[in-house]
Structure 1
Amino acid sequence: MSQPITRNKNVMVLTAAQALGGASPPIVIALGGLVGQQLSSDPALVTLPVSMLNLGLALGTLPSAYVTRRFGRRRGYVFGASIGVVAGIVAAFGIYLASFAVFCAGTLIAGFYAAYVQSYRFAAADAVEGPDKARAISWVMIGGLVAAIIGPQLVIWTRDLFPGTPFVGSFLSQAVLALLAIPVLLLLAAKPANTKAQSSAAPTRTLMQIMLMPRYMLAVAAGTVSYGLMVFVMTAAPIAMVGHGHSVDHAALGIQWHVLAMFAPSFFTGRLMARFGKERVTAVGLLLIGISAGFALAGLELFNFWVSLILLGIGWNFGFIGATAMVTDCHTPEERGMAQGANDFLVFGTVAVASFFAGALLHASGWQTINWLVFPAVALVLVPLVWQAGRKG
């Protein structure tokens, strides 16, 4: 019998690191569009800072996979956290200078840090065996619960820390969080006992052979749609809330409830996958994302925004964690680096496009159009996913 997940040191260290590193994106998401409104003269570019975060995440997936494979996960993750420190300082400096370009550079660098943080879930899965993999992924994502509280609350507590330059303090706090993650990550075991044996073996298949597997394609598509739609809607939500008469604090709290909903189900998502199967849980997640769009379309009251964001978060949790677990079933230990890296590159590359498109579409067509587009994207993946789940009985 395998030991409890909570007794696995690496899983617990990665959970703590996720709590600190996972707080960085909510700060950018909650404030990126609002700072963009202050610094950019083009309304269509106000969400560019959030798009740059997601672009950095996409561009950073393959280099971060190489760094952690070449130098080990502990040193690679410490290097990633150091990038996070730089990101917060650059973004804060951009606001201080009233330079939209410098601020966007800071959020781009934050994306590089986020690429390392995103791979914590795979590192946790690799630290355990068999059915414990889904639970390990869920445990690391539980660290996001703390992140959900830290990020938006730091926005509220520190946004006026420096009089005359709002939000500088929020991005300096982002740098502090990354700095605090470094001693935590130093506790990570340098290498699992079997890493050397695994790394010495050559992959049995090429990346193209893996990518052409129907199960891998479906897992990547499910992760892409779950994450892409979540970011597509969440990027526009704070600007839409403020634009329809709600306060900045209400927008930040809406993001906090959303991020809490993203990670709170992680306490039982792994058990649900063990009981009902990864495909069924992923399908329920996509269905919830569709329902969240329905609530958003039902009205513009604070209730509609918040309920929609909460359902969007729960749907993301089931959809993305389920898709991640599906990916781990599609490769051998020798193939994991390229299979996981390719998955994240495809997922977060799409996410970057979605976040940029959200800003332009919100400006051109409005909040309702963004939510109407959720339904066809969900249907595109939900149909084959339900079919696959039915085949597995």
Structure 2
Amino acid sequence: MRSLFAAVAAMNTAMAGASTAATLVAAEAAGAGWSGVPNAAGVLGTALGTLTAGNLISRYGSRKTLRGLYGTAVVGASVAFAAVVSATLPVLLIGMFLLGLGNGAAQLSRYLAAELVPAHRKGFALSMIVWAGTVGAVLGPTLMAPGARLATSFTLPALAGPVLVAVVMTAVALLVSRTRTPTPPARRTSFVALRSPVVLVPIVSMVCAQLTMVAIMTMTSLHMAAHGLEVLGVVISVHMVGMFALAPLSGRLADRFGGRTAIYLGIGCLVVAAVAAFGAEHVAGLSLAMFLLGYGWNLAFVGGSAILSRELPEDRRIQLQGAVDALVWGSSALASLGAGVLFGLGGYPLVAVVGGIVALVPLSVVGRRAPAGPAPLPPPASATPRSRQG
């Protein structure tokens, strides 16, 4: 648990600084319409990382898989740093994609923590790994300005500083990744299972929460760029504290009242956040909106993850969890791209309105009567289980 916690904290710190800096670099290099493209590359990398991690863990165990993907993140952060220094946007996209691959391993780590505890405590266990992001929430954005000053002292571009911090943090994640969690016997699974009732509610809820959060958060960086990195760092820190700091509370709620209740609460927070962002004209108002946006996402994310950890068959759990996370992160790439277009058409208020509408979509599935007991999944594809270590 300590190893999982430390690696996730380091990766969140890396992604927080690198994503914000990459957004600003793209806006300067190619205009506001391209500002969401680097973040989209990172999100696509995260999607592929979660899908890959789920399959590799089921075959080779958690330790080798996490180390391999965290090593890829170190390479990605280094490539992104070189791209910012040379002002080369295509290379920056490659670096962000590779960095995202490592982030995918960090995201799937919450399910590894859930495997260590009984069913009635899984929500809290996975929420503790989500809570590790609090370290990134505090360090990532607040290190942007010091990193920028360090970079300029070496006659490098100011925005190269936060990406250099990401290089260091990904290396930390690689060094501390020594976990060896139980890996249940795996069987090949058909992705038709993603349409089953037990998976549909988490998918829709987590995808829509991710879309809303990514769209509004990404454009907040651009909306506040004129205030300077110091103020921007504070607002993004408040947002990320909302995303991670109260995760144990979300886990307790999911264990005590069920994942659907946590999802309902998350939808409410996201809608209020969108309304607050629409009317916010000052830093204090945006900070409140960003906190609610982060906690609404957290509730939906932890609630959906708790459902997947408790109700999926053990022999197909990690693969399906990886597939769900891949859909969540892959679809949110659309939010990064679309948010830039919406910002160009109608500014920040239009992004907030569309985000609020998307947040309401899960009500169409969460409100359906839940089946009594675990919902059946399609039979797995025939396969001979492979032996793995750890």
TM-score greater than 0.5 by the shorter chain? yes
What is the distance in 1 between the residues matched to 2:120 and 2:25?
44
- Residue equivalent to 2:381: none
Give the RMSD, CA atoms, in angstroms: 2.0
Given residue 209 of structure 2, which amino acid in structure 1 is its aligned partner? S
- Choose from 89, 92, 96 the match for 1:100: 89
Further displaced range: 348-357 or 67-76: 67-76
Q: State the shift of 1:387 in Å.
A: 4.4
Q: Is the 8 A contact 1:223 1:347 kept in 2?
A: yes
Show the 5 A alignment for 1:166-185.
166-185=158-177
Further displaced range: 336-345 or 285-294: 336-345
Given residue 17 of structure 2, which amino acid in structure 1 is its aligned partner? I
- Residue equivalent to 2:323: 342
- Choose from 11, 16, 19 the match for 2:9: 19
What is the distance in 1 between the residues matched to 2:234 and 2:48?
30
Q: State the shift of 1:391 in Å.
A: 9.4
SS in 2 for 1:128: coil
- Choose from 310, 321, 335 the match for 1:329: 310
SS in 1 for 2:132: helix
What is the distance in 2 between the residues matched to 1:390 and 1:275?
18
Q: Is the 8 A contact 2:147 2:161 kept in 1?
A: yes
What is the distance in 2 between the residues matched to 1:335 and 1:391?
21
Q: Could you give the per-residue CA deviations for residues 74-131 of structure 1, whole angstroms, max 9, x where no partner exists?
A: 1111111111211111111001111111112111111111111111111111222211
Q: Could you give the per-residue CA deviations for residues 15-51 of structure 1, whole angstroms, max 9, x where no partner exists?
A: 12111112122113322221112322x4311221111
What is the distance in 1 between the residues matched to 2:345 and 2:115?
44
- Residue equivalent to 2:147: 158
2:55 is the alignment partner of 1:74: no
- Residue equivalent to 2:298: 317
Q: Could you give the per-residue CA deviations for residues 277-312 of structure 1, whole angstroms, max 9, x where no partner exists?
A: 210111101110000011111232112211110100
Q: Is the 8 A contact 2:22 2:92 kept in 1?
A: no
Unpaired stretches in structure 1, ≥5 consecutive residues: 1-10
- Residue equivalent to 2:113: 124
What is the distance in 2 between the residues matched to 1:337 and 1:272?
23
Given residue 207 of structure 2, which amino acid in structure 1 is its aligned partner? T
Q: Could you give the per-residue CA deviations for residues 292-347 of structure 1, whole angstroms, max 9, x where no partner exists?
A: 01111123211221111010011111111111111223411111133112201211
Q: Is the 8 A contact 2:17 2:165 kept in 1?
A: no
- Residue equivalent to 1:260: 241
2:228 is the alignment partner of 1:238: no
Given residue 350 of structure 1, which amino acid in structure 2 is its aligned partner? S
2:277 is the alignment partner of 1:285: no
What is the distance in 1 between the residues matched to 2:222 and 2:371?
40
2:29 is the alignment partner of 1:34: no
Q: State the shift of 1:206 in Å.
A: 3.3
Q: State the shift of 1:175 in Å.
A: 1.1
Further displaced range: 286-295 or 373-382: 373-382
Q: State the shift of 1:222 in Å.
A: 0.5
Q: Is the 8 A contact 1:262 1:316 kept in 2?
A: yes
Distance 1:329-1:390 versus aligned 2 partners, 3 A rule: closer
What is the distance in 2 between the residues matched to 1:389 and 1:252?
42
Q: Could you give the per-residue CA deviations for residues 188-207 of structure 1, whole angstroms, max 9, x where no partner exists?
A: 12x52xx4xx42x646x633
2:196 is the alignment partner of 1:213: yes
What is the distance in 1 between the residues matched to 2:174 and 2:41?
24
Q: Is the 8 A contact 1:149 1:260 kept in 2?
A: yes
Q: Could you give the per-residue CA deviations for residues 225-254 of structure 1, whole angstroms, max 9, x where no partner exists?
A: 111211111111110122xx4222211211
What is the distance in 2 between the residues matched to 1:355 and 1:106?
17
Given residue 119 of structure 2, which amino acid in structure 1 is its aligned partner? G
Q: Is the 8 A contact 2:50 2:325 kept in 1?
A: yes
Q: Could you give the per-residue CA deviations for residues 183-224 of structure 1, whole angstroms, max 9, x where no partner exists?
A: 3212x12x52xx4xx42x646x6331x222123111110011
Unpaired stretches in structure 2, ≥5 consecutive residues: 374-390
What is the distance in 1 between the residues matched to 2:248 and 2:311?
24
Q: Is the 8 A contact 1:238 1:252 kept in 2?
A: no
Show the 5 A alignment for 1:290-305.
290-305=271-286
- Residue equivalent to 1:7: none
Identity percentage of aligned residues: 26
Given residue 182 of structure 1, which amino acid in structure 2 is its aligned partner? L
- Residue equivalent to 1:223: 206
2:123 is the alignment partner of 1:140: no
What is the distance in 2 between the residues matched to 1:155 and 1:377?
31
Distance 1:388-1:35 versus aligned 2 partners, 3 A rule: farther
- Give the number of aligned pairs: 370
Q: Is the 8 A contact 1:246 1:302 kept in 2?
A: no
What is the distance in 2 between the residues matched to 1:159 and 1:19?
21
Q: Is the 8 A contact 1:58 1:352 kept in 2?
A: no
SS in 1 for 2:151: coil
Distance 1:202-1:30 versus aligned 2 partners, 3 A rule: closer
Given residue 74 of structure 1, which amino acid in structure 2 is its aligned partner? R
Q: Is the 8 A contact 1:60 1:112 kept in 2?
A: yes
Q: Is the 8 A contact 1:161 1:168 kept in 2?
A: no
